[in-house]
Amino acid sequence: MIWHYFFFNADTQFGMLKPNTNRTVHAVCVLSSRTRIHGRTVTPGSVVVEVRKVLTPGLRPICSGAFDEGEDVYVGGFYEWPSSQLTFLKDGLDC
């Protein structure tokens, strides 16, 4: 599934998933309109997200780049994330 940021408002929240974790939401984010991150073009099938809340301490980026290799995901950080690993949060969470 490919999402385009303009179908949602800036406060539409998504759950960040990781492969092989039974669709557990590990963090809450919003989509960004960015097409580049850390000086490189976003991979097709991925989007740039801004993290609003981390639910799983020690969560690592799926698509790590030179600036976040070996670092945990943090609130306010921007990350490339596969759109297949995002889920729409109908009612959102209090972030």
pLDDT for 83: 92
As given in the structure block, the two tokens for residue 61 are 């980026």
Per-residue pLDDT at 95: 47
HSE toward the beta carbon, residue 69, CA cutoff 13 A: 4
Residue 41 has pLDDT above 80, yes or no: yes
Q: Which residue has the higher pLDDT, 36 or 1?
A: 36
The number of folded domains in the chain is 1
pLDDT tens-place string over residues 73-95: 999 999 999 999 999 887 655 54
Indicate the pTM of the whole model.
0.82
Asked if the model's pLDDT at residue 2 lies above 50, the reply is no
Q: Which amino acid is at 76?
A: G
5 confidence band (pLDDT: 50, 70, 90): very low
Report the alpha-carbon angle 57-61-65, nearest 5: 140
Range of the domain at 23: 5-88
Considering the domain boundaries, does residue 95 fall inside one?
A: no
